[in-house]
Structure 1
Amino acid sequence: MSKYGTIPSSSTPPPEGSSTLDFISRAKARGASALATRRPWRELADPRALSVPRGLADAYRRARANLAHFASNYAILVLGVIFLSLLWHPVSLLVFLACMVAWLFLYFLRDEPLVLCGRAAGEGVVLAVLSVLTLVLLLLTGATANILTSLLVGLVLVLLHAVLHRAADSIDAEAGRWYTPVPPST
């Protein structure tokens, strides 16, 4: 699921005085584009698509397909669970909000591959590095038990959904993988 190249970048420098407005308009456009790449929440929460897998191989296939298909939704879900758990820890909440800004600019609002030392970093690498960095910074704030518990709750929710959400046997053209949500019954 590639989201690169959705917003053309300008090669000419902006006129003086309009850089702030240009930045805001680019951020709004990228935000709309990033939200367009996530899957609809209705598709994620469809109760008709839930069923128990037939075996370990079926559970693995479902988890793999759903983790790829709903990656942005799952990231938002886990971050939301962590955010809710930090409401009673103001310092941790401020650190979390700073990390969310990093998530927005480096993962959700990017329209080009992230290049570090002349090499392009894939989405999986960016997701892993941001996850670890967020976790380490939050653990340094002193709310370790709260953060680890909320992270565990978020991951369990994601894995349960990934295993229980049934996928139809057709290919998702955008992701290039075998996945399509179960069509609603009429």
Structure 2
Amino acid sequence: MLPSAEMLANIKEATQTVASTRRPWRLFLDLSALTFPSSISETTTRLAHNVTYFLFNYALLLLLIFLLLLFPNALPLLLFLLLSAAWYFLYFSRDDLHLAIVPLALLTLVALFATGAWLNLLLALLIGALVVFLHGVLRSTDDLIGDDQESPYGPMLGDTPASGAYVPV
């Protein structure tokens, strides 16, 4: 069965949507932007902003850590590469997502427990959470100022009148 033109268009659109949230790796890995926060308030602001801004990069990093932990075991690695492809083609290429998500989720859970990869996933999540936390806290957001609207604090960080700027009394 050959893929239809509509299915290919949906895959292309989904790919463009996901890729549009991707940030350049040189910006993500910029060592000159790593500084210690001066307060707990700045720490939480940095973490929230960086997680929002670099979400796709963090997700890709978590997937890479998981696959690297599976690398010594060929069968689970191959199985999860195939499952990743299935998620990509069946989930992103359909309009009726609820029909694709339940079987894919069940298949993924069965594969996690049947291959024993759930321990690798748990370890990958712990390592990934530590990496995301450290990067999110240490990565300065000063050079990301043009993207305030994507921040969880939204327009509060801007200098516009709608940003809630203080007015002298």
Query: CA separation in 1, counterparts of 2:89 and 2:137?
Result: 30
Once superposed, what is the RMSD of the aligned Cα atoms? 3.6
2:159 equivalent to 1:175: no
| Corresponding position of 2:135 | 161
State percent identity of aligned pairs.
Answer: 33
For structure 1, list consecutive stretches of 5 or more residues without a partner in the other structure.
1-16, 118-125, 180-186
Pair 1:85–1:178, CA change in 2 (3 A): same
User: Whole-Å Cα distance in 2 between the matches of residues 172 and 111 of structure 1?
Assistant: 31
Larger Rg: 2
Cross-structure match for 1:52:
36
**Amino acid across the alignment from 1:172:** D
Aligned length: 148
CA contact (8 A) 2:50 2:136 kept: yes
Contact 2:49 2:151 in 1 (8 A): no
- TM-score with structure 1 length normalisation? 0.61
2:63 pairs with one of 79, 85, 96: 79
Shift of 1:135: 7.1
Q: Does 1:147 align with 2:131?
A: no
Corresponding position of 1:122: none
1:9-158 → structure 2 map (5 Å cutoff): 19-20=3-4, 22-24=6-8, 26-101=10-85, 103-105=87-89, 109=92, 116=98, 137-158=111-132
Higher strand share: 1
State the distance in 2 between where 1:101 and 1:174 align.
Answer: 32
Bigger helix share: 2
Please say if residues 78 and 154 of structure 1, whose CA atoms lie closer than 8 Å, have aligned partners that are also in contact.
yes
